[in-house]
Structure 1
Amino acid sequence: MSERLVVIGGDAAGMSAASQARRLKSPGELEIVAFERGHFSSYSACGIPYWVGGDVGSRDELIARSPEEHRARDIGLRTRTEVTEIDVDRQRVRSRDLESGTEEWTGFDKLVIATGARPLRPPVPGIDAPGVHGVQNLDDGQALIDALSRTEDSGAGGSGAEGRRAVVVGAGYIGVEMAEALLNRGYEVTVLNRSEQPMATLDPDMGRLVHAAMDGLGIRTVNSAAVTKVLTGPDGRVRAVATDDEEYPADVVVLGTGVEPETTLAEEAGLPLGAYGGLLTDLAMRVRGHGNVWAGGDCVEVLDLVSGRMRHVALGTHANKQGQVIGSNVGGDYATFPGMVGTAVSKVCDLEIARTGLREKEAREVGLRFVTVTVESTSRAGYYPGAAPMTVKMLAERRTGRLLGTQIVGREGAAKRVDVAAVALTAKMTVEQMTALDLGYAPPFSPVWDPVLVAARKATAAVRAAG
């Protein structure tokens, strides 16, 4: 007799789980029903800023597998259908068709919760006015592109591409990427940032490098600026964003203020949540205390392998891996997701930004004593054409020399160097052990001493000097 797997959420974690389970179990052994409230499935939300900015030509290029393709693989994906209740005891979910309003219950033998994250919206007057946009999903991206096209066609704010003004609220990954996208479309861009420096996932000294580069690109960044109100014109549309100190005119506003786990259904069902509001799972991604319920993606908390604490990190890399783990376990195989080290990369125009491991603040919060070093180097041998500057910051535990974190800001060739540090963190290497790594060298790719190894050498000396 066949079992039924129900999946809530049709993007990275949910559909990776469904697809992997289908590879392992035939339709006769396992029926799969997936619910997605949007129009699309298995798409790259990380690519939305590049679609908006014109680097990616069309929405369809961001879709890895359409609903029709999933259905052709015997996965019963129901789009525009929202799950409104999870009944764990009776093993069923209630859903509503968003087009017809029809509601029904669907029973399950196994359940996967992949409800993702919801964007944080500042609780200020006017935040829901026309012209204020989030960029959480493809529908959001399309709505923003349509609004930008209308503004550009109407010549709002001035003649041609001149005079159009955009305000981005938030200076994290999405904020700086959307600032680049709007700059590429010819907008005058102002970024309002609550923190001391942009990219709060970096230490402030590294964030200052990002700020300086953004200024050099023509993006105005205002730090320590909390939004107090979104102002509208006679037509009800946004006209400016206000802080305590100033009003910033805007033809369009984009929110890049971060996300939090979307676990409303899980909380109402009595499933366990952590300090960040994310679902808690074991290494197999099974929800703690529930043998037939799994969860993955942006709605869960995961173990930070460096600090030893649970964290919420919303990244597509984790979501896809966790989905594969869930699908393997649901399908009768075995897999685990042991945790992460917090690796992330981004860019704003030609500036590359990377981090992995702990920042100084995070290391202090878990009681670690550490040393820090910062080095300036280049992406290639200094004499080779195209060599670009790069700054590498490294944290190491004071007593043991264990690597705790690395941050890199630079031009071409900077960001992906963080992968060396990510591997070292996962392997719990010391900075002295890192100095012996046999990394590739040729003048077009690196100096004789790669910048990451230069930082490791300097960190080794700092550990020794600290006794």
Structure 2
Amino acid sequence: MSERLVVIGGDATGMSAASQARRHKSPEQLEIVAFERSHFTSYSACGIPYWVGGDVEDRDDLIARTPEEHRERAIDLRMRTEVTELDVAGSRVRTRDLESGAESWTGYDHLVIATGARPVRPPLPGIDAPGVHGVQTLDDGQALLDSLSALERTDGRRAVVVGAGYIGVEMAEALLHRGYEVTVLNRGEQPMATLDPDMGRLVHRAMDGMGITTVGSSTVTKILTGDDGRVRAVATDDAEYAADVVVLGMGVEPETRLAQAAGLPLGTYGGLLTDLAMRVRGHENIWAGGDCVEVLDLVSGRERHIALGTHANKHGQIIGANVGGGYATFPGVVGTAVSKVCDLEIARTGLREKDARDVGLRYVTATVESTSRAGYFPGAAPMTVKMIAERRTGRLLGVQIVGREGAAKRVDIAAVALTAGMTVEQMTALDLGYAPPFSPVWDPVLVAARKAVAAVRAAGV
């Protein structure tokens, strides 16, 4: 007798789980039903800013697998269908067809919750006005492009981006490429709150040099509209910024309202809590992954919410293997992320100073300025590396990098070192590749490690 797997969400985690489960079990052994409320499946949301900016030519380039391709693999994928209720006791979900309005119940033996995250969208006056856009889904990206196309013949086009995190700075670049005068409004003093303020200041300075006006310590109070109802400006506590289009980039939060209503366990950040196998704690047949869960931070030992496609795909693979009768685990993360704004590369992994203080760690820091290649080699570009180490042990706690070409991916060295629990002294002996076109004799990360070793010794116990 076959079992049924029900998947809520048709993007990275959901369809990775469905596909992996299908590899393990045939349709005769496992029926798979997946529900997706949007028009698209298995796409790269991270690529939306580059599609809007013109680096990616076609929307379909962001789609890894279409609904038809999933169905060819014997996955019953039902598009434009929203799950509205979880009945955990009855092992079933209620769904609504968004086109017809028809509702029905579907039972399950295994349930995968892959509902993702929702953009932070505060209830400000005017926030739903035409010309105000989020960029969470392909539908959002298409709506923004349609809005920009309608403004193509407008002189002096002005864009305001609210928020200066990953999405905010990437969308600022996209709009700059499209010929807009761009202003970024940020609640914090410096952009990129995932960095320490001293490193965020480097990003701020670089963005200003690119022609992007970045306003820190700025709280948006309302969106102002014109006589036609469209957005005309964004108001803060002390100023107004004219805008033909507004993009919201204020971050995301786990989409767990269904799970909460069903009484499933949530963490500090509102994400679902799972075990190492990605099974929802206390529920043998319910699994969850992607942007709707919290994961273990291997450095701090605490749960965190990190919305990244890299984790989401891994979660799906692990869930699918376990549902299919195999065994796989997800041990945790160190918080690695990279981004860019024009030619500036931004990277971080591990803890910031604030994070270290929050968990009661005593630490030292070391910051160095170096270049991406040997200083005499053409194209050598500057970069700044900041390293944080535990004061007594010298254990690496975190690394942040801001620089030009060749800077961001160096953070992977630190990500591996963090995962291995290395000290900064151990890092200085790493056998990294060297040639003048790729690195100075001492790679910038190793230079920072040497300086961190000195800081640990100077600090003593």
Query: What TM-score comes out, normalization by structure 1 length?
Result: 0.98
Show the counterpart of 1:73: 73
The equivalent of 2:16 in structure 1 is: 16
Task: Output the amino acid matched with 2:442.
Answer: W
Give the aligned partner of residue 182 of structure 2: 189
Q: How far apart, CA to CA, are the structure 2 residues paired with 1:244 and 1:287?
A: 43
AA of the residue aligned to 1:69: E
Instruction: Identify the residue that residue 173 of structure 1 maps to in structure 2.
Output: 166
- Tell me if structure 2 keeps the 8 A contact 1:14–1:113: yes
- Cα distance in 1 for residues equivalent to 2:324 and 2:435: 46
Amino acid of the structure 2 residue aligned with 1:65: R
User: Residue in 1 aligned with 2:431?
Assistant: 438
Give 2:315's aligned amino acid: Q
Matched, 1:227 2:220: yes
The Cα of 1:123 is off from its aligned counterpart by 2.4
The equivalent residue for 2:257 is 264
User: Which residue does the alignment assign to 2:301?
Assistant: 308
Matches within 5 A, 1:49-68: 49-68=49-68
| Counterpart-to-counterpart distance in 1, 2:98 and 2:290 | 24
Quick one: which amino acid aligns to residue 11 of structure 1? D
Q: Assess if the C-alpha contact under 8 Å between 1:165 and 1:252 holds in 2.
A: yes
Q: Aligned partners of 2:370, 2:189: CA distance in 1, in Å?
A: 26
- Alpha-carbon distance in structure 1 between the residues aligned to 2:161 and 2:430: 41
Corresponding residue of 1:451: 444
Once the two structures are superposed, what CA deviation does each residue of 1:33-58 show, in whole Å capped at 9, x if it has no partner?
00000000000000000000000001
Is 1:132 aligned with 2:125?
no
Say which of 389, 401, 410 aligns to 1:408: 401
Say whether residues 1:212 and 2:205 are aligned partners.
yes
Displacement after TM superposition at 1:208 (Å):
0.4
Within 2, Cα distance between the matches of 1:300 and 1:137?
Answer: 19
The CA distance in 2 between the partners of 1:177 and 1:122, in whole Å, is: 21
One-letter amino acid matched to 2:101: G
Which of 195, 216, 225 lines up with 1:202 in the alignment? Answer: 195
Consecutive unaligned residues of structure 1, counting only runs of 5 or more, are none
Match 1:328 to one of 304, 321, 327: 321
The worse-fitting range, judged by mean Cα deviation, of 34-43 and 115-124 is 115-124
Residue 369 of structure 1 is aligned with which of 362, 374, 382? Answer: 362
Structure-1 separation of matches of 2:454 and 2:308 = 34
Structure 2 residue 332 is the aligned partner of structure 1 residue 339: yes
Matches within 5 A, 1:131-170: 131-152=131-152, 155-156=153-154, 158=155, 163-170=156-163
SS in 1 for 2:100: coil
Equivalent residue, structure 1, for 2:271: 278
Q: Give 3-state SS (helix, strand or coil) of 2:348's partner.
A: strand
Residues 412-443 of structure 1 show CA distances to partners (whole Å, capped at 9, x for unaligned) of 00000000000000000000000000000000
CA distance in structure 2 between the partners assigned to 1:74 and 1:184 by the alignment? 42
1:297 pairs with 2:284:
no
2:459 to 452, 458, 466: 466
Alignment gaps of 5+ in structure 2: none
Residue 105 of structure 1: aligned partner? 105
* Equivalent position amino acid for 2:4 in 1: R
SS of the equivalent of 1:298 reads helix
Per-residue CA distance 1:203-241 (angstroms, 9 max, x = gap): 000000000000000000000000001000000000000
Q: What letter is aligned with 2:411?
A: V
Q: CA deviation at 1:196?
A: 1.2
Q: Any runs of at least 4 consecutive aligned residues in structure 1 with deviations exceeding 3 A, and if so which?
A: none
Shift of 1:124: 1.4
Q: Secondary structure at the match of 1:270?
A: coil
> Partner of 1:382 in structure 2?
375
Return the alpha-carbon distance in structure 2 between the equivalents of residues 151 and 13 of structure 1: 36
For 1:144 and 1:355, how far apart are their aligned partners in 2?
29
User: Offset of 1:408 from its aligned partner?
Assistant: 0.1
Query: Is the contact between residue 394 and residue 459 of structure 1 (CA under 8 Å) also seen in structure 2?
Result: yes
Deviation track 1:101-156 (CA, whole Å, cap 9, x = no partner) reads 0111000000000000000013211111110000000000000001000111xx23
Residues 156-182 of structure 1: CA deviation (Å, up to 9, x unaligned): 3x2xxxx10000000000000000000
Deviation string, structure 1 residues 266-297 (Cα, Å, up to 9, x no partner): 00111000010000000000000000000000
Give me the CA root mean square deviation. 0.4
Distance in 2 (CA, whole Å) between partners of 1:373 and 1:43 is: 39
The one-letter code sitting in structure 2 at the alignment partner of 1:22 is R
Give the partner amino acid of 1:35.
F
Q: Distance in 2 between matches of 1:53 and 1:356?
A: 27
Which residue number corresponds to residue 390 of structure 2?
397
Query: 2:219 and 2:357 mapped to 1: Cα distance?
Result: 26
Distance 1:196 1:240 in 2: 22
> Is the CA contact 1:34–1:77 (under 8 Å) kept in the aligned structure 2?
yes
Q: Does residue 337 of structure 2 align to residue 354 of structure 1?
A: no
Give secondary structure in 2 for the equivalent of 1:425: helix
Match of 1:123 in 2: 123
- CA contact under 8 A between 1:351 and 1:411: conserved in structure 2? yes
Q: Is the 1:122–1:227 contact (alpha carbons within 8 Å) kept by the matching residues of 2?
A: no
Q: Aligned partners of 2:278 and 2:393: how far apart in 1?
A: 32
CA contact (8 A) 1:113 1:294 kept: yes
Q: Quote the Cα distance in structure 1 between the aligned partners of 2:122 and 2:260.
A: 23
Equivalent position of 2:85 in the other structure? 85
Q: Does 1:35 align with 2:35?
A: yes
Alignment partner for residue 247 of structure 2, among 237, 247, 254? 254
d(CA) in 1 for partners of 2:113, 2:222: 35
**Cα displacement string for residues 377-401 of structure 1 (whole angstroms, at most 9, x for unaligned residues):** 0000000000000000000000000
State the 1:245 CA deviation: 1.1
Q: Secondary structure at the match of 2:127?
A: coil
Distance of 1:367 and 1:83 partners within structure 2: 42
Amino acid at match of 2:364: V
Deviation at residue 375 of structure 1 after TM alignment: 0.1
Between Structure 1 and Structure 2, how many residues are aligned?
460
**Alignment partner of 2:151: what SS?**
helix
